[in-house]
Amino acid sequence: MNSPSNPSGLTQLGALAPLPASPDQAVLERVPNPHPGTLYLSRFTAPEFTSLCPVTGQPDFAHLVIDYAPAEWIVESKSLKLYFTSFRNHGAFHEDCTVAIGKRLVDLLAPAWLRIAGYWYPRGGIPIDVFWQTGVAPAGLWVPETGVQGYRGRG
């Protein structure tokens, strides 16, 4: 509901918002892009993302990097943080978490382009890195490297 203090109708920003019990219950919100028609990249980095192994229930940790070129909408960052937090007690494989996050953002935002990089810390001695994108980046879009080193262990 729009009000003078909340003209965009956001339900979580500026309010006490409970932690969602699961990714399916998390509410992702969007706001109009303040620069529609301008090609630019927006990046979200979550270096402390956590979820659970769906088999053992043990915690898994990842460094996520999400890059997207907004079209008409941008994601509201508090809702994105709450969405990420909803994975803490959610059991899913690394590939599922990474790709599902990317697809959910695409469904919400319909961006010109999006990519997600999931750098997962080792499970059973093997790090798993998962990358997904919607296609080729638009011509002229500056897409910097993610800045995350591949896993090196102690070496």
With a cut of 50, say whether residue 1 has pLDDT above it. Answer: no
What pLDDT band is residue 108 in, cutting at 50, 70 and 90?
Answer: very high
Interatomic CA distance for residues 27 and 6, integer angstroms:
17
What pLDDT band is residue 155 in, cutting at 50, 70 and 90?
Answer: low
With a cut of 70, say whether residue 38 has pLDDT above it. Answer: yes
Between 153 and 1, the higher pLDDT residue:
153
* Residues belonging to the active site: 53, 60
The string of pLDDT tens digits covering residues 12-31 is 888 888 889 999 999 999 99
Q: Provide the angle, in degrees to the nearest 10, between the axes of the packed helices 94-109 and 77-85.
A: 150
Interatomic CA distance for residues 28 and 109, integer angstroms:
10
End-to-end CA distance of the chain: 54
Architecture, CATH, for domain 30-133:
2-Layer Sandwich (3.30)
CB 112 within 8 A of CB 69: yes
Is 25 exposed, middle or buried (CB count within 10 Å of its CB: 0-12, 13-18, 19+)? Answer: exposed
The string of pLDDT tens digits covering residues 76-95 is 999 999 999 999 999 999 99
| Domain residue limits, the chain | 30-133
